[in-house]
Amino acid sequence: MTTATATTLDLADIQGDILRAYGNAYASTTYVFVRIGDATAGGAWLAGLADQITNAEPWADGKPGSHLNVALTCAGLTALGLPDDVIGSFSAEFRAGMAGRAERLGDIGRNAPDRWDDGLGTGAAHVLVTVNALDEPHLGRALADLRAEVARHGHEIVVEQAAHTLPGSREHFGFADGFAQPAIEGATDDRAAGGGVPLRGGRWRPFAPGEFILGYPDEDTTLDPERRLPSAPTDPLGRNGTYMVWRKLHQDVAAFRDTISTAARHFEDGDEAKLRAKVVGRWENGSPLVTHPDAPATDFDGAAAGANDFRYHGPDQHGAKCPIGAHVRRSNPRDSIGWEGRLTYRHRIIRRGMPYGDPLPVGAADDGEERGLVFACFNASISRQFEAIQVQWLNDGNVFGLGHDADFLMGGIAEGGSMVVQGECPFYLGPQKPFVTVRGGEYLFVPGIAALRAIATWPR
């Protein structure tokens, strides 16, 4: 380990999609996975991409029409000719890959890697280029240029996944998403209330940046008298980068709607909207149940100061407002399992992603079309952050006192889940077939821009 010297973030070297939520500002996103044909040609191609990457600095002249960011799999680092000792400095879970961690993640049965989309989880995907665009014309031009350069350097596109915002900026189950993002020191300090580390007396502070960006102090560093930095890949790769999780999730919208509609006939005067909110933990517009238990706030703005400044243990310890098994409560328990949040805060992730496929019309039966969510997140430790959430909180309810009940909405994706809605008269949901199926995924490394240039020019 090295020793921390400064906490000022080098925004010019950090890739922009880590700290900047492009989200609804860009209507179209395409994820392009490329297989490197030759290490030398791969380096030449990456050197050119490094000059095009959008960094995390504020835009001086407004939003660009399109921009791109780059990440690499472990197989990609090998294909680019990096030596074994350098690759060995990366985390074990990154080197194993998502497919290699499938059993731990619960990606079995219908979600097993041998059923994933072609090109994912096989070692064929080496480089991920994410292209965001304001509209289809900008996207078309950016993709045409990218495809031409890939072909010119002798590489191959193995997966090209289109995604786009949906009407009302919702995901396919009908909910607004992405509100409760972590507050990071030096980047988003103003969002500390509700997004940072919970403190006594209802106070909050932002997270140490090393929880999400490699090469900076993390929460352990702040307690270490020697101010040692967390583990990171060998220099110069371990500065201003992070690990990325990419998962393609198919959503069975018809099954979700039918399940809730049928169950709601026996729930509080048939209030279907409220039962959906109980499953998720928020109303469809994003209003948190813990602060708005009876009806959504008509003017809710998830970006407003204080919009997510709430806790569970004091106002709703037993889940009467927001059920203990609600999706948002399980994926971000805050202080709900006690100790003022000290058992949960080290497991936060920066969540990104975009819906894919066209919406299923209201009232329509399943049409067999592909639709769902491309889930992406950034974290300094895949095992401590993403995998802990997936394995310990979504797939297993023991820590919440829910036995082996998986998250009704997203967890237990191999067999489905069940859920109790707490209240004066508890209401039971499930079990039911899974609403979500994994179509594929990869673990990736997102290098700083200088690190990407180093990879591109590594001696071969």
DSSP string, 120-180: SSSS---EEEEEEESSHHHHHHHHHHHHHHHHHTT-EEEEEEEEE--GGGB-TTS-B----
198 shares its domain with 215: yes
Average pLDDT of span 46-64: 93
Structural domain boundaries enclosing 132: 16-179+230-243+442-456
pLDDT of residue 344: 86
Q: What are phi and psi of 197, to 5 degrees?
A: -90, 125
- 10 assigned to some structural domain: no
- Quote the tokens at residue 447: 């290098």
- 5 assigned to some structural domain: no
- 6 assigned to some structural domain: no
Number of structural domains the chain divides into: 2
Is a pLDDT exceeding 50 seen at residue 263?
yes
123 shares its domain with 219: no
- 185 assigned to some structural domain: no
Sorting pLDDT into bands at 50, 70 and 90, what band is 414? Answer: low
Q: Is 132 exposed, middle or buried (0-12, 13-18, 19+ CB in 10 A)?
A: buried
432 shares its domain with 452: no
290 shares its domain with 427: yes
347 shares its domain with 202: yes
Is a pLDDT exceeding 50 seen at residue 5?
no
pLDDT of residue 4: 47
152 shares its domain with 217: no
- 312 assigned to some structural domain: yes
160 shares its domain with 196: no
121 shares its domain with 105: yes
pLDDT of residue 262: 95
- 451 assigned to some structural domain: yes
45 shares its domain with 82: yes
257 shares its domain with 357: yes
- 9 assigned to some structural domain: no
- Quote the tokens at residue 428: 């039971």
The pLDDT tens digits of the residues spanning 392-402 come to: 999 998 999 98
173 shares its domain with 196: no
What is the number of other CB atoms lying within 10 angstroms of the CB of residue 269? Answer: 7
Q: Is the pTM of this model over 0.85?
A: yes
**Residue 207 corresponds to which amino acid?**
F
- 187 assigned to some structural domain: no
Distance between CA 448 and CA 364 in Å, rounded?
46
Report which of 291, 286, 282, 279 is spatially closest to residue 422, judged by C-alpha positions: 279
Least confident of 11-25, 28-42, 351-365: 11-25
447 shares its domain with 412: no
CB 316 within 8 A of CB 300: no
Helix axes 39-50, 136-152, angle to 10 degrees: 150
